[in-house]
Structure 1
Amino acid sequence: MIDWIYVKRLLDYLEEDVMPEDITTKFLEGIRARGIVRCKDSGILAGNRFIVPFLKYLGFSNINGEKDGREVKKGDIVLNFEGDADILTVERLILNFLGKLSGIATITNLMVKKAKEVNPYVRIAGTRKTTPGFRLFEKYAIEVGGGDPHRYNLSDAVLIKDNHITLYGNLEELIKRVKFSVSFTKIIEVEVSSYEDAIRAFKAGADVILLDNMKPYEILPIVNELKSKVLLEASGGITPDNVIDYAKTGVDVISSGYITHSYRSLDFSLDVEKI
């Protein structure tokens, strides 16, 4: 059932590229071929988890795909399959899909490795700064890279941000109201931008405190005061270039929109052989 949900999404993407028809490939009717996908880059592979069942649904055969999470390098064959000339119809979708997901997995893995060098227990997490209609796959790629997907949508957890506080007017009363209104299974996270507000949020009963757009030197006093009392998350402008500085503060979680909006796609190519 879960595979069908993923396949349906991929069919929608294919429809965008094909409708009403592939006016070039239709002239190759009756020709059998083998498609071979090679990596032209180096990084972490992600995407075959969905591409393989998608190709099976479309009727392709002898499908062999490397497992997601594998480190790949230039020249590695990551997928091969057989079918008619429609291999060329799905070519661009497959390459785009593998490239984007592998790019996210690769940059996530890089940030995880950098952060854990100085803080073995820190988590690198995603954000909701994702591509509309593609979040499910982007969050998966983060996990393949060793990261935490964070919230999938607005119902996953309570996250009280500055604008919520501005509209409600009183942080302590808002947290109290939320605590007695939502399920006990939902954590309550509060976004703050100062030491004083972090202490307020902690005393009001927040489960997680999000230190938003704060410099590492601003975060350190908060970590020294609240470490092990409440989960501490740093977010805002965190990239591979400064992730080590944030990890050194001792926060529990580092969330970064960079891994889903500023990553570089890995490069893949598809070659065909007539059979």
Structure 2
Amino acid sequence: MRQDLANMVYEDIGFEDITTQAVIPPGLQVKGKIIAKEPGIIAGMELALDIFADFNVTVEPMVENGENISEGQVILEISGDPRTILTVERTVLNLLMRMSGIATLTSKIVKKVRSVNPDATVAGTRKTTPGLQLFEKNAIRAGGGDTHRFRLDDGVLIKDNHLALVGGVGEAISRARRYVSFTKKIEIEVETLEEALQAARAGADIIMLDNMEPERINQVLKALEDENLRDKVIIEVSGGINENNIVQFANTKVDVISTGYITHSARSLDLSLDLEKIH
């Protein structure tokens, strides 16, 4: 991860920061603060600390990941060579702002869900930014959500295109069960009540009800209860879920609500860096 962060910085620098090299004389020392310009949930502090440490900038964190921050609050304090600080500034701020935005939106949605379904889990999806998947997933965690799968090797998730190529729910689950270790859960995405019942009968660990309206979800839950299958599986819902409709899905009393909205639609939290010359 440290190398990934360094690569991000050097990608932004290119051959040199010509503005800083041209304008800032050598030998100066500065102190500075990263300040919140709006309230939210902070995330990405470990990335900021790692980048500054790798570039010999002294840094002192004022908050921890997952902490509520208010407008005007100091997030961290730094000191060192202004040429270095100005060169890495944008990469640090971009990561902090992006991750804090995801954490803030996740926290907002988790609170909505817990207000009507305290036992429900809000999870992210793999609709993340390539290269930032680990960071964005950790931001979800900082906001009180569940990361779901980080990568494809975390667990089995059989989707519609898998089913289309192997002949159906039962066959897909059977193939997965023969292939994977007992340590891996088998999840399957279904679109109909009958597919959900087939998946539960075939021994799926998790059934994802994809793009189902709340009324239809309740029908599936009732059908599983009627066959004494409801307690044998985790029921997840996903598809088109956002902050405006998530309470409707939480009211169905499902176990997990997964949504790409908390990553692909999160707005970056506004943070800024202010510097002051020491000598």
Compute the TM-score of the two structures, normalised by the length of structure 2: 0.94
**Kept in 2: contact 1:47–1:98 (CA 8 A):** yes
How many angstroms does 1:80 deviate by?
1.1
Q: CA RMSD in A?
A: 1.1
Q: Secondary structure at the match of 1:137?
A: helix
How many angstroms does 1:182 deviate by?
1.1
**Kept in 2: contact 1:48–1:65 (CA 8 A):** no
Q: How many residue pairs were aligned?
A: 270
Q: Does 1:15 align with 2:10?
A: yes
Partner Cα distance (1:211, 1:62) in 2: 46
How many angstroms does 1:186 deviate by?
0.8
Kindly report which structure 2 residues correspond to 1:67-146, keeping only aligned pairs within 5 A, or say none. 67-85=64-82, 86-146=84-144
Q: Where does residue 261 of structure 2 map in the other structure?
A: 258
How many angstroms does 1:171 deviate by?
2.2
Q: Does 1:244 align with 2:247?
A: yes
Partner Cα distance (2:142, 2:208) in 1: 24
Partner Cα distance (2:97, 2:274) in 1: 16
Pick the aligned partner of 1:33 from 30, 41, 45. 30
- Matched to 2:12, the amino acid is D
Partner Cα distance (1:210, 1:15) in 2: 41
**Kept in 2: contact 1:233–1:255 (CA 8 A):** yes
Q: Secondary structure at the match of 1:190?
A: strand
Q: Does 1:207 align with 2:205?
A: yes
**Identity rate, percent:** 49
Pick the aligned partner of 1:231 from 226, 229, 234. 234
How many angstroms does 1:63 deviate by?
2.6
Compute the TM-score of the two structures, normalised by the length of structure 1: 0.95
Q: Where does residue 175 of structure 1 map in the other structure?
A: 173
Partner Cα distance (1:19, 1:153) in 2: 30
Measured against aligned partners, the alpha-carbon deviations of 1:167-214 in whole angstroms (never above 9, x if no partner) come to 111321221122122101111111111111101111111110000011
Partner Cα distance (2:54, 2:258) in 1: 36
Higher mean displacement: 166-175 or 133-142: 166-175
Higher mean displacement: 143-152 or 57-66: 57-66
**Kept in 1: contact 2:47–2:92 (CA 8 A):** no
- Matched to 1:186, the amino acid is K
**Kept in 2: contact 1:172–1:204 (CA 8 A):** yes
Unpaired segments ≥5 residues, structure 1 = none
Partner Cα distance (2:62, 2:52) in 1: 11
Pick the aligned partner of 1:159 from 147, 157, 160. 157
Higher mean displacement: 27-36 or 260-269: 27-36
How many angstroms does 1:54 deviate by?
2.1
Measured against aligned partners, the alpha-carbon deviations of 1:120-140 in whole angstroms (never above 9, x if no partner) come to 110000000000000000000
Pick the aligned partner of 1:46 from 43, 59, 67. 43
- Matched to 2:49, the amino acid is V
Moved over 3 A (4+): none
How many angstroms does 1:223 deviate by?
1.8
**Kept in 1: contact 2:205–2:233 (CA 8 A):** yes
- Matched to 2:71, the amino acid is K
Q: Secondary structure at the match of 1:67?
A: coil
Partner Cα distance (1:75, 1:174) in 2: 53
